[in-house]
Amino acid sequence: MKVLQMADEVRYSRMSTAELRSTFLLEDLFAPNQVQLVYVDLDRTVIGSAVPVGSPLALPCPKELRASTFTERRELGVFNIGDEGSVDVDGKAHSLGNKDALYIGKGEHSISFSSVSALEPAEFYLLSYPAHAIYPTSVVRAADRMPLTLGDSATANHRTINKLIHLEGAKSCQLVMGFTELATGSVWNTMPPHTHMRRSEVYMYFDLPEDHRVVHMMGPAKETRHLIVANKQVAVSPGWSIHAGVGTASYSFCWGMGGENQVYTDMDALKVVELL
């Protein structure tokens, strides 16, 4: 398992484009017939993917976790951005369509991933944090999500936020997870900007045409940088960093958080005019 060590605000300000990308961006997830996992020392996050083509793929327990199973001391969120598939937890299959999610609580679980069609496989995005309480495994259907509409077409940020794993939905220890869809003609996400020192955040951009990009803004308000992000790439956002993006075409993104609390509205707001 790859281990990614985060930079603080001091090191961040001196980094080159290549250093920023290697530290804050995951570029190579979603490889066919592979489970890929990256351990981030920020809040002990594990980010990963599973794209089963043909035979089911078992979720391994990398030696870095020093555990008997992946979820021995962890909880796991699974979000399907591909075609129909299934996640087997201790012999029970949970079918997931496009934009369905599954929460798997802490426990000695055996977990595997499969696709209904090898020609049109499921693409499972994985996000995990340490857990100190046990909550039941539960499926969150796209039809059952709790949408929240924000922004305005006049500022090109009219968007729908879909909460999947959160305080009022599927229960978890610390994982909060959902996805945002931009309205036609809107390209900005997460504006006005904000930070939240009590939680780190992870953005996985998807449904972006292959020949387009998202400009993901990051950093303290007075010293911002950017990452050029392609489809199915993941930006990691420390608590001291803003996290916003603008795309050259329509896109969606899956957001996930872990840390001190699960309150969605817990953020420190900034004004656009404060950004430098």
What's the CATH fold of domain 2-274? Jelly Rolls (2.60.120)
| Tokens standing for residue 135 | 């909550």
199-243 pLDDT, tens digit each: 999 999 999 999 999 999 999 999 999 999 999 999 999 999 999
> What's the CA angle centered on 95, arms 91 and 97, to 5 degrees?
160
DSSP alpha helix (H) spans, the chain: 9-12, 17-24
C-alpha dihedral (28, 31, 35, 40), degrees to nearest 10 = 10
246-273 pLDDT, tens digit each: 999 989 999 999 988 888 788 899 999 9
**Whether the bond into 238 is cis, omega within 30 of 0:** no
**pTM for the full model?**
0.96
Q: Using only C-alpha atoms, what is the Rg of the chain?
A: 18
| Every domain of the chain and the residues it spans | 2-274
Going by C-alpha positions, the residue among 135, 66, 127 that lies closest to residue 107 is 135
Determine how many CB atoms are found less than 10 A away from the CB of residue 169: 19
